[in-house]
Homo-oligomer: A and B are copies of this chain.
Amino acid sequence: MLAERSSFNPLISPEDVIPSRPELMVKGVCNAGATTFGDEILLLLRVMEAPAPDDGMVFVPVLDLDGRPGNAYRFLTFRKDDPDLDSSDPRVVSYRGRLYLTVISHLRLARSVDGVNFSIDPKPTIMAQGPQESYGIEDARVTLIDDTYYITYVAVSHFSYTTSLMTTTDWSDYQRRGAIFHPQNKDVVIFPERINGAYFALHRPDPGKFGLPAIWIARSPDLLHWGDHRHLLGPSLEGWDAWKVGAGAPPIATERGWLEIYHGVSHDGVYGLAALLLDGEDPSRVIACSPAPLLVPETMYEIQGFFSNTVFTDGVVRKLGESDRLLVYYGASDQYVCMTEFSIQAILDSLGPCKPAQTQGNMLYDGGRVDGGRSPRPRRE
């Protein structure tokens, strides 16, 4: 494997994070946006919290929309033996067909000069706010453009989930800029510069049952309004990325094109990471794909945790002074923050042709017995 995991992994664990309120405990810290600010590496952590377990009950924390001060929560209470309750997935409970999250997330800054030892803010940096964030905010990605940091994040609520945008220049004041991708969309990464006059983003809309979860690309004149949505890359139909793919970290510029570290999910629900190369002048053109994943769950903290068998990146940073070294920060089993290094050149050299199913989709997926060759008879009346 090309991956060189940090010997300090996991870099951040739930016990390193002070809960936001006394009645909550930190269940996971993961999926961190990553960037640099001055001579520091910043991670914008996703901190997942839930009430302490209670025998026989499930407490679902939601933002209190009744106007109580200070980011108060209230708790939806379910009996574990309720026959209408399905709690087989640790991330959600399903009650009479409606989904709720078992944890509520906020975003919290962590700072480091060496990229492995982080000092974590003692309090939440950015909390959920308003009805479209009633179930929390998750999975930040950070792109620096012209001295402004553009932070995409997933806003989950009783309406659904969107990807929303906030901006900052100083990591102290944050401006919310609204939902830039309507339900259901996540895994949104913004390219770090205009390309032939337009901004671009990768995103991952939910395709429903017509297609498979795939990476799409969109254009924008101003980073706030998006259009020209195009399917870019889908699952490969077998193996590590047969079920879903989605963007990971914001793309980085290389001499061969835009390098994107993205995630794939197998039919068994195992999350892995791989690379994708997009045309430097037209990022809606896919040039090359990883023939095999760059990182799959192998270590104990990747295999076993809040959501097991998961490695998932939201941010990469080029190592200071070493332009070929890429620090890939990733969430492990939705519980820990980890890091692995790569040689960018080695990743580029590993890429090969994409499979037709990845770029073109396949309407015969799962349909070995679907016969596209036979035509019906012409109609006679």
> Taking beta carbons and an 8 Å cutoff, which residues of A are in contact with B?
19, 22-25, 51-52, 54, 57, 59, 62, 65, 74-79, 82, 84, 94-100, 131-132, 134-135, 156-162, 178-185, 203, 205-211, 214, 216, 218-222, 224-231, 234, 360-367, 369-372, 374-380
- B210 contacts A159, C-beta separation under 8 Å: yes
- B135 contacts A22, C-beta separation under 8 Å: no
Measured CA separation A74–B376 after assembly (Å):
9
> Given that A98-B366, A209-B97, A231-B132 are known contacts, is A371 also in contact with B76, CB under 8 Å in the complex?
yes
- B222 contacts A221, C-beta separation under 8 Å: yes
> Given that A364-B76, A372-B76 are known contacts, is A228 also in contact with B218, CB under 8 Å in the complex?
no
Report B-chain residues with C-beta under 8 Å of the C-beta of A206. 160, 183-184, 206, 208
Report B-chain residues with C-beta under 8 Å of the C-beta of A97. 209, 366
**Chain B CB within 10 A, most for which of A19, A234, A374:** A374
- A184 contacts B159, C-beta separation under 8 Å: no
| Besides A134-B363, A184-B206, A224-B228, 11 other A-B contacts (C-beta < 8 A) | A52-B380, A76-B363, A76-B370, A95-B370, A99-B209, A159-B361, A181-B182, A182-B229, A183-B211, A221-B221, A224-B227
Measured CA separation A23–B98 after assembly (Å):
43
A377 smallest CB distance to B (angstroms): 7
A42 smallest CB distance to B (angstroms): 26
Number of copies: 2
- A227 contacts B229, C-beta separation under 8 Å: no
- A372 contacts B77, C-beta separation under 8 Å: yes
A162 smallest CB distance to B (angstroms): 6
Report B-chain residues with C-beta under 8 Å of the C-beta of A22. 378-379
- A182 contacts B183, C-beta separation under 8 Å: no
**Chain B CB within 10 A, most for which of A62, A157, A160:** A160
> Given that A160-B208, A209-B99, A225-B219 are known contacts, is A378 also in contact with B230, CB under 8 Å in the complex?
no
A67 smallest CB distance to B (angstroms): 13
- B179 contacts A370, C-beta separation under 8 Å: no
- A78 contacts B227, C-beta separation under 8 Å: no
- B54 contacts A363, C-beta separation under 8 Å: no
A28 smallest CB distance to B (angstroms): 16
A35 smallest CB distance to B (angstroms): 23
Enumerate the 6 nearest inter-chain pairs by beta-carbon distance, A residue then B residue, closest first. A158-B363, A160-B207, A225-B225, A51-B376, A225-B227, A178-B228
- B160 contacts A184, C-beta separation under 8 Å: no
A284 smallest CB distance to B (angstroms): 11
Measured CA separation A379–B75 after assembly (Å):
14
- A210 contacts B99, C-beta separation under 8 Å: yes
Report B-chain residues with C-beta under 8 Å of the C-beta of A24. 379
A294 smallest CB distance to B (angstroms): 26
Report B-chain residues with C-beta under 8 Å of the C-beta of A222. 221, 225
